Amino acid sequence: EKGTYPYYMLKEIDEQPAVLRHIIQEYQGEDNQLEVDEALLAAMMEADRIHIVACGTSYHAGWIGKHYLETLAKIPTEVHIASEFSYNQPLLTGKPFFIFISQSGETADSRQVLVKVKELGYPALTITNVQGSTLSREADHTLLLYAGPEIAVASSKAYTAQMTVMAILADVLGRQKGHDSQWDLAHELGLVARAMDTVIDEKAQLEELAQAYFTDTRNAFYIGRGLDYYVAMEAALKLKEISYIQTEGFAAGELKHGTIALIEEGTPVLALVTQASNASHTRGNVEEVRSRGANTCVIAMEGLEQEGDQFILPHVHEELAPLVAVVPTQLLAYYATLQRGYDVDKPRNLAKSVTVE
Ligand code: F6R
């Protein structure tokens, strides 16, 4: 039940720190070490390539998952939109391993690929919020998100849970393969939960930012590089699907290769800046659009802040920054939608679980 909350989405955004703490507990074994099922690990140890298959927000979490699998477990990983995979099947290597990410576990586009993968005889893991769901039953392995029921059509806590479970899986797999990850992931995730709490306490500021940037705009952009680009894609989907503002999530450096033509006086461009290695380059892109009239704002991690309009994220391990950086963008989407007078939980034309192809 949503209790005193006006909308499920707000409740689900607020639940994220608790969900994170719950996931850590569920995946901690003896000696508080993060663990996943032995049979799953054994199957993944064999893989020469991982294919992540998903739709929408789960697809966006897949990109972060790819990053973790490649950096921590050092397994080449591809990310596919489920509805494209079937008709545009990639060339497969000898030992592929498939990961389906689906909050509901019922998405028809993803299921269609899973059925095919099973026909071909390849191993598959489903990462889902719903125990006993179709994709969970039909895959060889399941990892649960432990996010609790997600009612709002726009996914929030499932996305952060998906990224968290992907990080845990990649970390455990990396250790199993003998790669020293140099961090205590459970500890770092605990710090992420605290940082999320801090962002959630800044609702008043985010409500004002939504007012300043989104009240009567037709379009908007989120930009970033690397992990920030992946979050920009999700931030854009969230804003467009509930506020109906046409929003693109863009690779910051790619804007100047065509899309910058859309920037006019007052176009909102929000940049994510959480990675020291590319912060100055993204800042450069912000300047490019600001000088062409864009209404710019930077969502920057502590330590990377500068003068100008910005929202500051508490510092966390850079690799986990997406978990914190997405939270203000969820709240911005929420407030923009309220201010524009739409139903946050039930956007037009959308259903929570898409069971048609
Ligand atoms: C967006 C959203 C959708 C879903 C997508 C996949 O907020 O919720 O994009 O992420 O339909 O759904 P699942 O994860 O249930 O397969």
- Concatenated DSSP letters of 211-234: HHHHTT-SEEEEEESTHHHHHHHH
Gyration radius of the chain over CA positions: 20
Mutate to test the pocket of ligand 1, among 81, 101, 103 (most ligand atoms within 8 A of CB): 103
Which residues are within 8 A (CB) of 60 and not within 5 positions of it... i.e. 6 or more apart? Answer: 159, 230, 231, 233, 234, 237
* CA 185 to ligand 1 center in whole angstroms: 27
Mutate to test the pocket of ligand 1, among 104, 113, 144 (most ligand atoms within 8 A of CB): 104
- 352 part of the active site: yes
Amino acid at position 171, single letter: D
Closest residue by Cα to atom 10, ligand 1, is 57
Closest residue by Cα to atom 9, ligand 1, is 56
Ligand 1 atom closest to 238 (CA): 7
CB 348 within 8 A of CB 11: no
Q: How do the pLDDT tens digits run along the chain, 357 residues long?
A: 889 999 999 999 999 999 999 999 999 998 889 999 999 999 999 999 999 999 999 999 999 999 999 999 999 999 999 999 988 999 999 999 999 999 999 999 999 999 999 999 999 999 999 999 999 999 999 999 999 999 999 999 999 999 999 999 999 999 999 998 789 999 999 999 999 999 999 999 999 999 999 999 999 999 999 999 999 999 999 999 999 999 999 999 999 999 999 999 999 999 999 999 999 999 999 999 999 999 999 999 999 999 889 999 999 999 999 999 999 999 999 999 999 999 999 998 888 888 888
Strand bridging mode 49-54 / 219-224 = unpaired
Q: Which residue has the tokens 């992540």?
A: 52
Pocket of ligand 1 (CB under 6 A): 55-58, 102-104, 107, 110, 154-155, 237, 241, 353-354
* CA 246 to ligand 1 center in whole angstroms: 18
**Angstrom distance (rounded) from CA 169 to CA 34:** 9
DSSP H helical segments within the chain, as ranges? 8-14, 16-27, 38-45, 56-68, 82-85, 108-120, 134-138, 157-176, 185-200, 203-214, 227-243, 279-290, 321-339
- Predicted structure pTM score: 0.97
**Angstrom distance (rounded) from CA 128 to CA 143:** 7
Mutate to test the pocket of ligand 1, among 8, 100, 107, 244 (most ligand atoms within 8 A of CB): 107
